[in-house]
Amino acid sequence: MKDKTKSADLPAVIADEIRSLVTRGVFSPGLQLRQVDLAERFGASRVPVREALKLLTAEGVVAHDPNRGFFVAGLSSDEARQLYRMRHLLESEVLSTIAWPSKQQLSELSDQVDRLEELMKGGNRAEWAIQHRHFYRMVFELSPQRVLVQEVLRLLRMTDRYRSLGPRDPSENNVVSERHMIKALSARDRQRLLRVFEEDRGRIEEGLVGSLVARGM
């Protein structure tokens, strides 16, 4: 973190660090985020820490109680259902407008899927969630609709902590959908691309929300 704190946008850097800690389960739902402790942890003053917490509050990752302070936001099936519905609609629109990737971009996407598969086999669900977001960012940024892309990426960040709750058994995970997406991109088959996306999103949404409901969330 020491090198990163030299960044001009320190609150955003700290927000990324806190978001990662939440995604990895180091900071669990309900944990109080004390500004003094965070400032010491990141080697920064309380001002950028407070701004970072405000950024995360706007995303829904952190909850703020004026009388008690900042806390890691809880998880709920209702919130997940709404977030994934918004993602579904916007991501479909973005995918329908992407430019076809170059050979180099296809190779980079394929390498990223290989990395996802390795993380799955190792059972590292939290890191998988982060790298999974990176894969889709690479795909979505092929679209010229910058405003929609930025909103999609914002929603992706908001659902990181939900995606990390995916199947506990690595054998239940697979990257078949991502590989099918790459094949569709390579073939420049938009209809196939959207069909794979729709099937994958429906399966993930149903499984995740069902898992949250089963946990009483």
- Summarize pLDDT for 10-54 with one digit per residue, the tens: 999 999 899 888 887 789 889 999 999 999 999 999 999 999 999
Does the structure show a pLDDT above 80 at 160?
A: no
Q: What is the pLDDT of residues 82-135, one digit of tens each?
A: 888 899 999 999 999 999 999 999 999 999 999 999 988 888 777 787 788 899
Long-range contacts of 188-192 (CB under 8 A, 24+ apart): 188/100, 190/95, 190/96
The neighbouring-strand residues paired with 104 are: none
First to last CA, the chain: 33
pLDDT class of 178 with cuts at 50, 70, 90:
very high
What pLDDT, on a 0 to 100 scale, did the predictor assign at position 168? 47
Strands 32-33 and 62-65: unpaired
Q: Contact 20/55 with Cβ under 8 angstroms?
A: no
Does the structure show a pLDDT above 60 at 172?
A: no
pLDDT class of 166 with cuts at 50, 70, 90:
low
pTM: 0.74
Instruction: Determine the average pLDDT of the residues in 158-168.
Output: 68
Token pair recorded at residue 69: 């302070």
Q: Give just the sign of the alpha carbon dihedral 53, 116, 178, 188.
A: positive
Q: Contact 133/157 with Cβ under 8 angstroms?
A: yes
In the chain, pLDDT over 70 holds for what percent of residues?
91
For residue 102, what is the DSSP state? P
The neighbouring-strand residues paired with 72 are: 62
Does the structure show a pLDDT above 50 at 5?
A: no
Q: Where in the chain is the domain with CATH 1.20.120.530?
A: 77-214
- Which of the listed CATH numbers 1.10.275.10, 3.10.105.10, 1.20.120.530, 3.40.605.10 matches domain 77-214? 1.20.120.530
pLDDT class of 165 with cuts at 50, 70, 90:
low
Q: Contact 214/77 with Cβ under 8 angstroms?
A: no
CATH class of 4-72: mainly alpha
What pLDDT, on a 0 to 100 scale, did the predictor assign at position 205? 77
Strands 62-65 and 69-72: antiparallel
pLDDT class of 164 with cuts at 50, 70, 90:
low
Q: Where in the chain is the domain with CATH 1.10.10.10?
A: 4-72
What pLDDT, on a 0 to 100 scale, did the predictor assign at position 170? 42
Distance CA 155, CA 84 (A): 8
User: Across all residues in the chain, what is the average pLDDT?
Assistant: 86
Token pair recorded at residue 207: 């499984």
Q: What is the CA radius of gyration of the chain?
A: 18
Q: What is the pLDDT of residues 58-87, one digit of tens each?
A: 888 999 999 999 999 988 888 888 888 899
Q: Contact 52/64 with Cβ under 8 angstroms?
A: no
Which amino acid appears at position 36 of this protein? V
Distance CA 49, CA 156 (A): 22
Neighbours of 134 (CB within 10 A): 12
